[in-house]
Amino acid sequence: MKVIENYIEDTRNLEDATIKEMQDGLLRETLAYVSERSPYYRERLRGIVGRCGVDDIGLLPVTRRDELQEDNWGLLCVDRKNIAEVVATTGTTGNPLFIALTAGDMERLAENERRWFSVMGLGAESLVQIAVTMDNLFVAGMAYYKGLEALGAGIIRSGASNAKRQLELIVRLKPDVIIAVPSFMLKLSREAEKLGLKPGSLKKALLIGETIRGADMVSNQLGRLVEEAWNIECFSTYGITEASVAFTECASHAGFHSHPDLVFTEVLDDEGMAVPDGDIGELVVTTFKVEAMPLIRYATGDVCFKLEGPCDCGSAMPRIGPVIGRKAQKLKVKGTTVYPGAIENALLKVAGVVNCHITAYSGEAGTDLVRVVVGVDGDVSSPGVQAILQDARSSLKASARFTPVLEVLTPQEVERLLCSAGGRKNSVFKDIRERVKSL
Ligand SMILES: [Zn+2]
């Protein structure tokens, strides 16, 4: 059975009032659907569903990931025979969650991405290289493939590895768009230089997996490096596997839009109360038009903020700012709340700061102690380095309201700290606080 037969072709021109009315209806339908079909929600929503609209959504319980890990299949609303695909979350904490999708959910996944590609200005004439993985239960690669297919665009399914082969494909097939992880784009540009290749066909990139914008929506160091290395327009996207949706930038690059007929977003404080637009909190999502495993008020663990008012592009589609970090990474320092991602962005904005590393320790009485190391070339007592440190302190104060003692090392020494975890990926933040971390 299909929850919703038809999708709206384009949600960009909907008015606020229309969005609200539509979401009220979709929420009621979804609540009725899960109360009837999902063993997990039937129990939890008993007696409190009523005729809840989005204004009353705060009355409903928040769905926490650790509870779902106990009862993953309690979410399933369809017969096993209707499952078309199973994907999994890739989070670094806890066991993965498995998300089943029906054929209808696959269509919804495709529709979500088709619209974003359309917002990016792509069409049937576009040739797109998908340089992210298509297998291993990873949902995004498949979602892009399905979305591009629905758009009628040409697809080069190159996968996530082998920089040399990726470059050869770009040079020979001349795609105009690439979908990749930003740091992989930098690896590709370094490899191109080494091989003497000039892959000049790309005009746009959809970048996933790493944030390329600061809280002010301006490109952070990673974004700037990709833009400069490739001379392309970068669109940042943030996806939630559990909800089968992605939040993506429009051509105004002023935050991440969501499709209001596919997902309802809230940003909540630690007590579970909605924060005002612009304030930081945990992103909580409710899915619409999902058949197999709809989610009601699912707490993502990601921290961001809502953006008020219409976007520069003129659309009333809701927007959030870039993800600042994980809720579990929140630091409480002398009464100020700060996230490692915000510290990193503030520091890497400063000319002369090559890299940085942040470590959190347990302080007394529940406070956190933070060691912030910056990688700067030159003698620490020289006026040049002192000026860089002054800029770094001002930047931290302005954008993170945080004034730590900055420790200076050479960029090579910081690089060693970044790799000290032994993992493949450089880790800017090391959390050695004593308390038990919760999601
Ligand atoms: Zn916009």
> Residues 96-112: pLDDT tens digits?
999 999 999 999 999 99
User: Cα(311) to centroid of ligand 1, in Å?
Assistant: 5
pLDDT on residue 391: 94
Neighbours of ion ligand 1 (CB under 5 A): 250, 252, 311, 313
Give me the residue spans of the domains in the chain: 1-324, 330-431
- Asked whether the domain spanning 330-431 has the same topology as the one spanning 1-324, the reply is no
Q: How far apart, in whole angstroms, are the C-alpha atoms of residue 149 and residue 73? A: 30
Class for the domain spanning 330-431: alpha beta
**CA distance to 35, 141, 191, 326, per residue, from 239 (Å):** 26, 11, 28, 14
Alpha-carbon torsion angle 85, 114, 306, 98, nearest 10: 10
* 250 CA to centre of ligand 1 in angstroms: 5
Distance CA 344, CA 364 (A): 25
**Structural contact between residues 317 and 293, judged by C-beta atoms closer than 8 angstroms:** no
Of the chain, the percentage scoring pLDDT greater than 90 comes to: 73
**C-alpha span between 85 and 142 (Å, rounded):** 11
Ligand 1 centroid to 255 CA: how many Å? 7
- Give the closest residue to 142 by CA, choosing from 189, 108, 119, 184: 108
User: pLDDT tens digit string along 216-236?
Assistant: 899 998 999 999 999 999 999
CA of 257 to the centre of ligand 1 (A): 7
- Of 2.60.40.10, 3.40.50.150, 3.40.50.360, 3.40.50.12780, which CATH number belongs to 1-324? 3.40.50.12780
Angle value at C-alpha 438, between 432 and 439, nearest 5 degrees: 115
Distance 128 CA to ligand 1 centre (A): 22
Cα(354) to centroid of ligand 1, in Å?
Answer: 32
- If pLDDT is split at 50, 70 and 90, which confidence band does 51 have? confident
Give the amino acid at 159: G
Distance from the alpha carbon of residue 57 to the mean position of ligand 1, in angstroms: 26
CA distances for 2 relative to 5, 42, 112, 264, angstroms? 6, 20, 17, 20
Q: Cα(253) to centroid of ligand 1, in Å?
A: 7
Phi, psi (deg, nearest 5) at residue 209: 90, -25
Distance in angstroms (rounded) separating the CA atoms of residues 402 and 393: 8
Q: Is the pLDDT of residue 352 over 90?
A: yes
Q: Looking at residue 155, what is its pLDDT?
A: 98
From the list 241, 298, 304, 243, the residue with the least C-alpha distance to 269 is 304
Q: How many whole angstroms from 318 Cα to the centroid of ligand 1? A: 9
